[in-house]
Amino acid sequence: MPSTVWMVPIVEGDAPDAVRRKAGVAWDAAGLSRLIRPADLVALKVHFGEEGNHNFVRPHLLVPLVERVKAAGGKPFWTDTNTLYVGARSNAVDHIALAHAHGFTLEDTGAPVIIADGLTGREEIRVRVDGRHSAEVGIAPAAAACNALVAVSHATGHVVTGFGGALKNLGMGLSSRKGKLYQHSVVKPKVHAASCTACGTCLAWCPVHAISIVGDSALIDPKTCIGCGECLTACRIGAVRFQWRMASAGLQERMAEQAAGVVRHLSGRIAFMTFVTDVGKDCDCMASRPRDVLVKAAGILVSYDPVAIDQAALDLVASHLGRPLTEVGHAIDPTPQLDAAAALGIGSRDYDLVRT
Ligand code: SF4
Ligand code: SF4
């Protein structure tokens, strides 16, 4: 049976105030306030935008969501998890500072920022999924403990998964650090010898002694490496790198299993809103320029089904481009994540679009 996806169209030239109003219209069309009971702690899962990214969904557009959560008696908070890679979002201190710098302040939005997986991303709650790759997954504690969650996603292309929408926002964006590492474990890290200073820090962090100093740089033995990624965060100069392009389908399937963990844990208390605006070839983890945008404005989608909303977002992007995203963005098929999530029973690629 098809799932319902509500859509509020946005056209290029809509003023920010109009887009902001439409975010509230989209929320109301799907009746998202019914997820919230008085005193509920309500997570608004967003992406605060990497340093130098210009395309992330701006917080002032999301204020109507905060207002509606509060009107229903809930206590909203913005949340996301720390990144694996070294950057401005790899620990909670830097992450909150960047979120504030990008406008996600209590004063300006009415909601505080809480990093969902703790100071360094090492905290997690284990949830059973019985998937093809994982029996259980680790999700961020704040996502597990909240009373309701609305995943506010920004439709983008992605260098590894082809597309980033609701499933990626949950699967990667709400997984613990260990969970992210597991997803990336299909992709073993390598040391970029020209950047490595042979300081030896990563050797001390590797749990399986897979790293040694050979000549002027560290070297990872791929046969011993378990893909845990400790070296990725231990190396403060970013000399340890993953080969992101490899094994996309396997990573997407693991990502769908992580997403299923969140959806099942929050069964009946989770919904999805996706902005199909400023759609870039790359995700909001990348620095970007305004001219990197492929689709400027298409609409705001809302659904209770993360698979249906991703399919609808891909279709909407394709209709604006006149061809599939894979022909314009990265040539990586994003359907494995949709099919894997559907097979896990958390949604359907069939949907009915209700225009508001
Ligand atoms: S990913 Fe983990 S196991 Fe592999 S080299 Fe790095 S620290 Fe060692
Ligand atoms: S921590 Fe980084 S710079 Fe130091 S040895 Fe390891 S890879 Fe090289």
Instruction: Give the pLDDT confidence of 199-209 residue by residue, as tens digits.
Output: 999 999 887 79
**Ligand 2 test: best mutation among 86, 191, 211, most atoms within 8 Å of CB?**
191
Residue 292 has pLDDT above 80, yes or no: no
Give the pLDDT confidence score for residue 141 in this predicted structure: 95
Give the distance (Å) from ligand 2 centre to CA of residue 234.
8
One domain for residues 223 and 251: no
Give the residue, 228 or 132, on which the prediction is more confident: 132
Give the distance (Å) from ligand 1 centre to CA of residue 25.
47
Q: How confident is the model at residue 85 (pLDDT cuts 50, 70, 90)?
A: low
The mean pLDDT of the chain is 92
Q: Is the CB of 200 under 6 A from ligand 2?
A: yes
Ligand with the closest atom to the CA of 230: 1
Give the distance (Å) from ligand 2 centre to CA of residue 201.
6
Residue 235 has pLDDT above 70, yes or no: yes
One domain for residues 15 and 104: yes
At 299, which CATH number? 3.40.50.11440
Choice among 176-185, 190-199, 343-352 with the minimum mean pLDDT: 176-185
Average pLDDT over residues 276-286: 84
Q: State how far the Cα of 66 lies from the Cα of 70, in Å rounded to an integer.
A: 6
At 214, which CATH number? 3.30.70.20
One domain for residues 108 and 49: yes
One domain for residues 203 and 313: no
Give the pLDDT confidence score for residue 238 in this predicted structure: 86
Give the distance (Å) from ligand 2 centre to CA of residue 117.
25
Give the pLDDT confidence score for residue 335 in this predicted structure: 95
Give the residue, 284 or 352, on which the prediction is more confident: 352
Nearest-CA residue for ligand 2 atom 6 is 202
One domain for residues 252 and 196: no
Give the residue, 287 or 8, on which the prediction is more confident: 8
Residue 70 has pLDDT above 80, yes or no: yes
State the total domains in the chain. Answer: 2
Residue 198 CA, closest ligand 2 atom number: 5
Q: Do 126 and 300 meet the contact criterion of CB atoms below 8 Å apart?
A: no
Hey, CA dihedral for 176, 251, 246, 312, is it positive or negative? negative
Give how far Cα 47 sits from Cα of 146, 236, 273, 346, Å: 18, 23, 13, 22
Average pLDDT over residues 150-156: 97
Residue with tokens 């909601």: 111
Q: Is the CB of 197 under 6 A from ligand 2?
A: yes
Q: State how far the Cα of 13 lies from the Cα of 199, in Å rounded to an integer.
A: 52
Q: In which domain, by residue range, is 294 found? A: 3-182+246-355
One domain for residues 22 and 151: yes
Give the pLDDT confidence score for residue 88 in this predicted structure: 82
Q: Where are the alpha helices (DSSP H) in 221-334?
A: 230-234, 248-265, 306-321
Ligand 1 binding site (Cβ under 6 Å of any ligand atom): 189, 205-206, 208, 210-211, 220, 225-231
Q: Is the CB of 199 under 6 A from ligand 2?
A: yes
One domain for residues 289 and 317: yes
One domain for residues 126 and 236: no
List Cβ neighbours of 61 (8 Å cut-off, separation of 6 or more).
16, 19, 20, 23, 275
Q: Is the CB of 234 under 6 A from ligand 2?
A: yes
Q: What is the pTM of this model?
A: 0.84
Instruction: Give the pLDDT confidence of 12-69 residue by residue, as tens digits.
Output: 999 999 999 999 999 999 999 999 999 999 999 999 988 888 889 999 999 999 999 9
Q: State how far the Cα of 281 lies from the Cα of 238, in Å rounded to an integer.
A: 23
Nearest-CA residue for ligand 2 atom 3 is 196
C-alpha 210, offset from chain centre: 30
Give the pLDDT confidence score for residue 83 in this predicted structure: 86
Q: Is the CB of 237 under 6 A from ligand 2?
A: yes
Average pLDDT over residues 115-140: 92
Choice among 71-80, 124-133, 175-184, 335-344 with the minimum mean pLDDT: 175-184
